[in-house]
Amino acid sequence: MEQIARLQKRNPDGTAQLRLERQSACSGDCHQCAGCGAARETLIFTARNPIGAAPGELVTVKGDSGPVLLAAAVVYGVPLVLFFLGYLLGHLAWEQGPLAGCLGFALGVVLAVIYDRRVAGKQKLMYTITGYPDLHPLNAWEKGDNDQ
């Protein structure tokens, strides 16, 4: 996943502190839809800086999506698989497929929560600055209008 962020400061260890304004899922044209109240969220994070970008510059940042995809597969996939497995085994053994399926799903949710707290919650995502974005000249970020 690639995003555009503004570099705030360089760290001596070759990393940089970045600021990213996360956009909401809507178009941002709130007066058109009676104002949904979606606020922009500002994230501050650290990324490797192999290109030596300077403070104030807009950069393209790429994050490692592997851990995120694995966590999503566990959190969504395990309960689903255990539901169908429980349903099948419950139907074949006791003719209680729906009950066994629900119990399998509940077990899957418990396992997903345990995984999230022990494994996924402790993994630190690392981002890397990959270059400079090719922006349209009318973009407010490029002009620096969003600086605080």
- Please give the helix or strand (H or E) that residue 21 lies within, else none: strand 15-22
At residue 148, the pLDDT reads 47
Q: Is 129 left (phi over 0), alpha (psi -120 to 50) or beta?
A: beta
Indicate where the chain has its CATH 2.40.50 domain(s). 2-63+125-143
Question: Which CATH number does 2-63+125-143 carry?
Answer: 2.40.50
Q: What are the E-state strand segments in 54-117?
A: 58-63
At residue 143, the pLDDT reads 47
Q: Distances in Å between the alpha carbon of 47 and those of 9, 67, 143?
A: 11, 16, 23
Predicted TM-score of the model (pTM): 0.56
At residue 79, the pLDDT reads 95
d(CA 81, CA 84): 5
What does each of the 148 residues of the chain score in pLDDT, given as a tens digit? 788 999 999 999 999 999 988 766 665 556 555 556 566 788 888 899 999 999 999 999 998 878 778 888 888 999 999 999 999 999 999 888 999 999 999 999 999 999 888 876 676 768 899 999 886 555 555 445 555 4
Count of alpha carbons within 13 Å of 71, Cβ hemisphere only?
18
Q: Which residues contact 14 (CB under 8 A, 6 or more apart)?
A: 48, 49, 50
